[in-house]
């Protein structure tokens, strides 16, 4: 049995919590311990997994806790994300065991973390896509870049698959659901989704799943933008759906001839895209970051140039026509 310790600031309902949960599911013979600094509502992700334990230490107790763990516990692997100082502390105490992971696609964050990392003391640097590995390695010396490895994120195919029972929802006759998931920040780029909607026929019914949005001002701006594009009355909104609820929404959208659309401007991997494709939901997305590396699992999809909303709208209609033909 391999004992693995993973550290990340936030125990949330998505993000790294999803990464950690799928890793534990994929290797039930290994023991996974997780340490977080902030409780963001993600505890339940680990409750059903017998090979996991988690702890949340507030900021003032975090550094002493790491010191105690380094002195009293024996781990085969230690994996740290977004906490360079913790990675340095553990590398000094346990040389040759620490991997620092990058999952952000934001260059400023990557450069900030690299500047604070003792890279020579790390065993390796890991990212979920070849694209992100290249972004990181270009900012390192040749010998440091040799430590970079790509390990793609996993999708929980027990939860996200083509056989998931669709949710029971009503849809006006003759309409087509088009699904978008994310926060209302610049990276997820909700404004381009609104632009695509304004181009498409009104028979397309947008379903927006707002995930982990914490800023009321952004919500207000998004609603105002939807009104300015004349599509506000068509949008159906859901907040913070569970993974099982999302999976059922993916297959329901698929069964009603709909599509998933991602207008994200930056993705180190693209979890929502990967999950939609795993459920057999046709997908249109911008060709950014690690998105071209996401396994399609035989699901129809198109990637379009960033910002070309007219090509994205055309891709949506093309895939829609393909669904009607195959049906």
Give me the DSSP letters along 77-112.
EEEEES-HHHHHHHHHHSTT-EEEE-----HHHHHH
Q: How far apart are CA 24 and CA 28, in angstroms?
A: 6
- The structural domains of the chain, with segments of one domain joined by +, span 3-150, 176-326
Position 40 scores a pLDDT of 86
Which has the minimum average pLDDT: 181-190, 213-222, 293-302? 213-222
CB 123 within 8 A of CB 146: no
Position 242 scores a pLDDT of 85
Strand-pairing partners, residue 283, are: 260, 301
Helix runs in the chain, H state only:
16-26, 59-72, 84-93, 107-116, 130-137, 142-145, 190-199, 216-228, 243-255, 271-278, 309-326
Kindly state the average pLDDT of the residues 72-86. 95
CA torsion 132-138-142-148 (nearest 10°) is: -10
Kindly state the average pLDDT of the residues 209-221. 81
Give the tens place of pLDDT for each residue, 155-165.
999 999 999 99
Q: 322 pLDDT exceeds 80?
A: no
Percent of the chain with pLDDT over 90: 81
Q: 151 pLDDT exceeds 80?
A: yes
Give the tens place of pLDDT for each residue, 25-73.
999 999 999 999 999 888 888 988 999 999 999 988 999 999 998 889 8
Model-level pTM? 0.92
DSSP 144-204: HHTTEEE-PPP--TTTSSTTSPPP-----TT-EEEEEEE-SSTTTTHHHHHHHHHHS-TTE
SS3 assignment, position 236: strand
Q: How far apart are CA 312 and CA 325, in angstroms?
A: 20
Give the tens place of pLDDT for each residue, 195-207.
999 999 999 999 9
- Our CA angle for 272, 12, 2, nearest 5°, is 90
Q: How confident is the model at residue 170 (pLDDT cuts 50, 70, 90)?
A: confident
Q: 327 pLDDT exceeds 50?
A: no
Domains 3-150 and 176-326 share a fold: yes
Percent of the chain with pLDDT over 70: 98
Kindly report the CATH number that applies to the domain delimited by 176-326: 3.40.50.2000
In CATH, 3-150 is 3.40.50.2300: no
Give the tens place of pLDDT for each residue, 233-261.
999 998 878 889 999 999 999 999 999 99
Q: How confident is the model at residue 213 (pLDDT cuts 50, 70, 90)?
A: low
Phi, psi of 120 (to 5 degrees): -65, -20
């Amino acid at each position: 049995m391999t004992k693995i310790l993973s550290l990340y600031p936030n125990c949330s309902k998505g993000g790294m919590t999803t990464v950690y949960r799928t890793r534990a599911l994929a290797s039930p013979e290994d023991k996974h311990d997780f340490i977080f600094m902030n409780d963001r509502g993600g505890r339940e992700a680990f409750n059903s997994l017998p090979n996991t334990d988690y702890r949340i230490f507030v900021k003032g107790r975090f550094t002493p806790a790491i010191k105690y763990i380094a002195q009293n516990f024996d781990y085969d692997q230690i994996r740290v994300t977004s906490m360079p100082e913790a990675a340095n502390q553990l590398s000094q105490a346990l040389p040759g065991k620490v991997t620092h992971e990058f999952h952000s696609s934001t260059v400023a964050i990557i450069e900030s973390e690299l500047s604070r990392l003792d890279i020579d003391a790390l065993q390796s640097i890991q990212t979920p896509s070849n694209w992100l590995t290249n972004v990181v390695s270009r900012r390192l010396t040749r010998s440091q870049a040799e430590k970079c490895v790509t390990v793609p994120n996993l999708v929980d195919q027990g939860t996200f698959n083509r056989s998931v029972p669709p949710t029971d929802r009503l849809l006006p006759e003759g309409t087509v659901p088009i699904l978008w998931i994310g926060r209302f920040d610049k990276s997820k780029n909700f404004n381009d989704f609104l632009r695509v909607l304004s181009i498409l026929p009104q028979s397309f019914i947008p379903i927006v799943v707002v995930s982990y949005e914490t800023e009321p001002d952004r919500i207000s701006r998004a609603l105002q933008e939807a009104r300015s594009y004349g599509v506000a009355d068509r949008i159906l909104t859901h907040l913070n759906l569970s993974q099982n609820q999302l999976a059922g929404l993916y297959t329901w959208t698929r069964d009603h001839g709909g599509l998933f659309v991602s207008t994200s401007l930056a993705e180190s991997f693209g979890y929502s895209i990967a999950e939609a494709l795993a459920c057999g939901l046709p997908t249109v997305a911008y060709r950014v970051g690690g998105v071209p590396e996401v396994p399609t699992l035989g699901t129809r999809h198109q990637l379009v140039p960033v910002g070309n909303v007219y090509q994205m709208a055309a891709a949506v209609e093309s895939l829609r026509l393909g669904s009607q033909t195959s049906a």
